[in-house]
Structure 1
Amino acid sequence: MPVLSVRHLTRYQYRNPVAFGDHRMMFRPREGCDQRLLSSSLLISPTPSQLRHVQDVFGNWIGIARFQGRSRELSFESRIVLDHTPLPAFGDHPGDVDVYVRGESIAYAEDDLPDLERSIERQHDDPAGDLAAWAQSFVRRSGPTSLQHLLAEMTQAIYADFRYGKRLEHGVQTPLATLERRGGACRDLAMLMIEAVRSLGLAAQFVSGYIHSPSRKPGQKTSVGGGHTHAWLRVYLPSSGWVEFDPTNGIVGNTDLIRVAVARDPRQATPLQGAWAGLPADYLGMEVEVDVTSLEGDQVSVMPSLALAFG
């Protein structure tokens, strides 16, 4: 059961002192049977006049900081330590297979459909059906197709055939642009697969968090997407529930993936957002540092208990 440490620093700098509006943070991981938070600290400078935490409609934890006064710099430094357990992607019974048949709906339980429908709805236009056709290329021409096999194959196809590249612009490329360019940032590749599986009638959601890139043997590729927050997706299967897929790294399951937020739309899972007031020329830039490391036993024993700090 690996114990992972995450340090996430975001710093904004300004030429002259500026005022700050509310800032919303999504730094705290979602706990479950595969990850358990051991400790957490948050250092915000300048000190906010108020900080509160709420849960959104998806159960994500959101910190909301309110500020008074002005400053030339605003920084947020989150540190977390958690137990992270890799689990079988499709549960403990790999013989349970869900199938897709052309022209038929996914066999979701009638009671589940009202809660899944918004995650099945497509969010991007596909006027010529190019994305849907690409998704259908993973389906057998006749007879049932194993959804577990289809989703794993689609994940590996994006990993092998699409080029990953960091993109500093805000927002997400349209899936059609990603399909045409055969590349994009991790959030673009995730959204491509989300819309592709939605075209098949599957419920899919966007996931934001961190990725651990452990040391590899010589010749093995290291995971990409580190140094910043990372993005992938999860798909709901009748026999397995929510299953995670990282097409940027070809990961099927939760291995090395630290889940912080899940949402129907990427805009609902922004790690940090807020407003400031000043002249446009005052803004000098933003820097982000994300470090994810594995801790040994003696390092874990000295970690502080749950704490919140301001500076």
Structure 2
Amino acid sequence: MPRVAIRHRTEYRYAAPVSFGDHRLMTRPRDSHDLRLIEATLSFSPHATLRWKHDVFGNSVAVASFAEAADTLLIESRIVLDHFPREPADLAAMVEPYAETIPFAYAPEEVPDLGRMAERHFPDPDHAVDLWAKKFLSTEGPTRTADLLVAMTHAIKSDFTYEARDEEGTRPPTETLALSRGACRDFALLMMEACRSLGLAARFVSGYLYDAALAESDTPVVGGGATHAWVDVYVPGAGWVEFDPTNGLIGGRNLVRVAVARQPAQAIPISGSFIGRPDDFLGLSVEVTVEVGQGGATPPPAPEPAAVETA
């Protein structure tokens, strides 16, 4: 049971003082049987007032409102949690018999709740995503559902080039396929849409990645120093199963989920606006540090904040 401390610091810089619209933050992890939140603190400069709400997916969302103008906006999230990671499970052994091979139909009582998670969301006029997904279907007999999902996850890891991208937005799956490269959110979206093309329900997950075994390694896991994204697929018998195509990981052993959503735009960690000239915006910097320790990791000290709220 590692204790994980995560510090997520975002700084926006402007050429002159600007006013700020409300900012929407999704940085508070989702408590569950495998994750116990110990501490969650948000700090702001300039001062902000907070209100909390749950979105349509049950994610915790903080809305920050600012009264002061400034040429710098600093937002820092610090969380401490206990993670109860599972060893990689034998996924095939958990699948309900009727869903062992693909295609299959979800149970009638589950179909309304899965809803749009099983629908395609992005255009695929030339059926590029369809054809790519069908590559994982066996030509020699039934295709085992678990084998297909594992093979698809590993294929993205091996066949695509990871690139860190600071610009906003997620590439359409067809573009990620054509380029054979992308960021973690691009790979997650590609796998989501590929699974949906085969009749599987899938959702987008944002959060953080850590790996206790590689904490001191010279070859850290990709994405460990930033926010991360992966995909959940609903498998009857196993439930929502986490797949990280960026790193070829199956299950949530190293993944701290913060938000789940139907599409990436609904799970942006920090979003907001400012009032000023377009050329006032000079840029932003994001720093994520993750500390893992059995005995109780603590976040590094933060600068004196203008406002702090613990939830």
TM-score (ref. length: structure 2): 0.90
2:95–2:235 CA contact under 8 A, matched in 1: no
Equivalences for 1:1-40 in 2 at 5 Å?
1-40=1-40
**Which blocks of at least 5 consecutive residues in structure 1 are unaligned?**
none
The answer as to whether partners of 2:154 and 2:245 remain within 8 angstroms in 1 is yes
> Deviation at 1:116?
1.0
Give the superposition deviation at 1:226: 2.5
User: Alignment partner for residue 175 of structure 1, among 164, 173, 177?
Assistant: 173
Which has the higher mean CA deviation after the structures are superposed, 290-299 or 106-115? 290-299
Q: CA deviation at 1:100?
A: 3.3
Letter in 2 for 1:224: V
Cα contact 2:54–2:60 (8 A) shared by 1: yes
In the TM superposition, what is the alpha-carbon distance from 1:112 to its structure 2 partner? Answer: 0.8
What is the SS of the residue equivalent to 1:9? strand
Match of 1:165 in 2: 163
Q: Superposition pairs for residues 273-292 of structure 1, below 5 Å?
A: 273-292=271-290
Cα deviation, 1:110-138, whole Å, max 9, x if unaligned, reads 01101112011111112222211111111
Give the aligned residue type for 1:2: P
- Segments of structure 2 that go 5 or more residues without pairing to the other structure are 302-306
**Range 120-129 or range 89-98, more displaced:** 89-98
Instruction: Give the C-alpha shift of residue 93 in structure 1.
Output: 8.3
On the 8 A contact 1:2/1:85 being kept in 2, the answer is: yes
Pair 1:60 & 2:59 matched: yes
- What residue in structure 1 maps to residue 43 of structure 2? 43
Which stretch has the larger CA shift, 15-24 or 138-147?
Answer: 138-147
Aligned to 2:209: 211
* 2:100 and 2:144 in contact (8 A); partners too: yes
Q: Is the 8 A contact 1:99 1:144 kept in 2?
A: no
Q: Is the 8 A contact 1:213 1:224 kept in 2?
A: no
Q: Does the CA-based 8 Å contact 2:46-2:68 persist in structure 1?
A: no
Alignment of 1:1-311 (within 5 A): 1-48=1-48, 50-88=49-87, 90=89, 94=93, 96=95, 98-101=99-102, 104=103, 106-214=104-212, 216=214, 221-297=219-295, 299=297, 309=308
Q: TM-score, normalised by structure 1?
A: 0.90
Preserved contact between residue 107 and residue 238 of structure 1 (Cα < 8 Å)? no
Q: How many angstroms does 1:298 deviate by?
A: 5.6
Kindly report the root-mean-square deviation, in angstroms, between the aligned alpha carbons of the 2 structures. 2.2
Distance 1:92 1:3, change over 3 A: farther
Deviation at 1:92, TM superposition (A): 8.6
Instruction: Give, as a single letter, the amino acid of the residue that structure 2 aligns with 1:270.
Output: I
**Percent of paired sites with the same residue:** 47
Once the two structures are TM-superposed, the CA of residue 40 in structure 1 deviates from its matched residue by 1.5
Distance 2:117 2:296 in 1: 43
Distance change >3 Å, CA 43–CA 217, structure 1 → 2: closer
C-alpha separation in 2, matches of 1:298 and 1:265: 34
Which sits farther off after the overlay, 110-119 or 216-225? 216-225
Whether the 8 Å CA contact 1:135–1:197 is kept in 2: the answer is yes
- Looking at structure 2, the residues matched to 217 and 290 of structure 1 have their Cα atoms a distance apart, in angstroms, of 14
Deviation string 1:261-302 (CA, Å, 9 cap, x unpaired) is 0000100000001110011222111110001110241656xx
Structure 1 pair 18–95 and aligned structure 2 pair: CA distance change class (3 A): closer
Amino acid at match of 2:64: A
Distance 2:215 2:28 in 1: 31
Deviation at 1:42, TM superposition (A): 1.2
Shift of the alpha carbon at 1:199?
Answer: 0.4
Task: Detail structure 1 runs of 4+ shifted over 4 Å in the superposition.
Answer: 88-93, 217-221
CA distance in 1, matches of 2:215, 2:64: 43
Deviations 1:1-21 (A, max 9, x none): 111000000111112111011
Preserved contact between residue 185 and residue 228 of structure 2 (Cα < 8 Å): yes
Post-superposition CA distance 1:210-236 (Å, at most 9, x none): 111445399985311122211000000
Kept after mapping to 1: 8 A contact 2:212/2:293: no
- Report the AA paired with residue 56 of structure 1: D
Read off the aligned partner of 1:159 and give its amino acid letter.
K
- Give the aligned residue type for 1:26: M
Residue identity opposite 1:65 in structure 2: A
Q: Which amino acid aligns with 1:190?
A: A
